Every structure is written in structure tokens, then in C-alpha cells.
Amino acid sequence: MEQLVYRLLKEIGDDPDRAGLEDTPERVVRMYKELFWGYDNSKLPKITKVENGADGVLVRGMLIDKGTFFSTCEHHLVPFFGHYFFGYVAGDWVAGASKIGRTVDYYAARLQIQERLAVQVLDRLESELKPKGSIILIQARHLCKEMRGVRKFDSPYSYVETRGLFDTNDQGCKDEFFSRIGVTL
């Protein structure tokens, strides 16, 4: 892989043997191993969950988690990054608070597109938690859109994926989710 980076530096017109670049191929290889840990199935986060009501509290309302993520565009190999907002109405299980963010980070640590990231996160959480409904909004800035092409700086792109109650906006749950996260599309 170091030889590929060395050759890339030559192909773009630079001298990979100059002082500033001589260790770059090795650094890039180390960085890629760090960035793309989501391909390692042994690092798939365990979803810690408790049975709804087992601790004396039956969760009937909406649970919402928000966080940031970093990923890499599979079309241009440059970063995209932003915020995720995940909500669900619990069925039999409630997830540990940190498990949603860990799940997002795992799937974001691959070459990605925003839509697939949302689907992968919901698929995993749905299979583990079996909620009555779930929703994820991913808002991201894509450097392939900001640095090149249309060059629209700070122009987030949004994608929403819904399941269950949120598909039909049952009892206004989808509207409530957007109201609670304070994001308008």
C-alpha cells in the first residue's frame, strides 16, 4: 500500500522523495488503518440492552440520541462529516445510551454514502432492539461538494430513514421527533 501512495504522489506531480513527503506513504497507511476500522467485524459494537420495564420503569415515550460522525465518500475518497439524530419508540428493549453512537461510528468507518450509513445503522438497531418504530436523520457536509465540483461551502446534505411508527407518522411521532431535535428540513 505504501508503494501505491508513493506512486500517487508521483502521478499528481510531486516528488515523494522530498523532505516533507518522504514518510508520507507510511503515515497514509497508518491513517487508513485508523479511519477504516469499520471493516473489522470483530469491532462491531455490542448493543447492550435492558428489557423494557425490568428496572421498574416502562419506557413508552420517544428516546432520542444525537451525535457527530466522520466518514469517507466512496465516490471521491474525501471526508464527509456531520450530525446524526436517532429516535425510537421502545418495544421490549431499551439500548444502553452509548450504543447508538458506537454503532454510527462503526458503519461510518468505511467508504460510505450517507444513505447507506443511515440504512445500516437502522438495520442493526432494529434487529437488536425491535422497537415499535425508529428514525434517523443524518446531516453532513461533503468535502467532495465543498472543495470541488459545485464548491458550495458549508452546505449540509440531509437524509432521513424511517421504520415502523415513523413510516406513517403514527400519532405524530415523526413530527414530534423533528420538533424535539430542533431541525427543520
Q: Which residues are catalytic?
A: 73-76, 114, 142, 144
Amino acid in the structure at residue 149: G
Please give the biggest Cα pair distance in the chain.
66
Residue 80 and residue 51: Cα distance in Å, rounded? Answer: 36
Write the DSSP string, 130-179.
--SEEEEEEEEEEHHHHTSTT--TT--EEEEEEEETTTTTGGGHHHHHHH
Smallest CA-to-CA distance from 69 within 78, 82, 60, 58 is with 82
87's grid cell: 429516535
